[in-house]
Structure 1
Amino acid sequence: MSMWPNGVYFQSQIFYCSRWTREMDQTFVDCLVEHSRSGLFHLDRPSIHAVMCSLYDVNKTYGTKVVYEWAQNRVEHLRERYNLFRWVVNTEGIIWNARLGLVTGPDHV
């Protein structure tokens, strides 16, 4: 895994691998969002049905054979990332720059 000189890893080096790509993640999340909009999924209490339907779409689209347990672990991982993101963005002096897709803040934070 290559690092930037200051020790920062690229997000893709940490969150994705040959078994689970950024594109698969996007398909999975898009499906979960659709289930959320229809009231069938909530990140605090994910339903087996919503996760299975989303997993089916990923496996069908990418020709993979990802199993439910792995998908459920992914939901948990996404929830942890979301909670960390919310905590960081709610820290005084930190802002989310949607144009750049970065969290920014002063050096002293």
Structure 2
Amino acid sequence: MDKFSFDDIDKARKLLGLPDEASLREIKEAYRNKAKKYHPDRYSQEKREVYERKMARVNRAYKVLLRFIEEYKISFKKEDVNKNNPDRDVIRFYKDWLSR
């Protein structure tokens, strides 16, 4: 089990350009975008070393976030599932609006 400090996780999410909260899908998308931008194969030989270092930092940040997520316990309790439903607010709005 890896232990990461808040600073480790915060630096990793900032390096990937993520907000304070992100889904696994958003983390993967941010990583892919950074990988496309910094992959050393996209650059000339003169710039390759610089982008190899940048890509290494991006890879480390991604690994930190994935390891943190792997250790994070997810609740499957009904109230927690309902609370984290992305459609919750839309459903609540329509139920309220239709009940008028």
The TM-score with structure 1 as length reference comes to 0.32
Higher strand share: 1
Q: Which has the higher contact order (CA 8 A, sep 6+)?
A: 2
Larger C-alpha radius of gyration, 1 or 2? 2
Higher helix share: 2
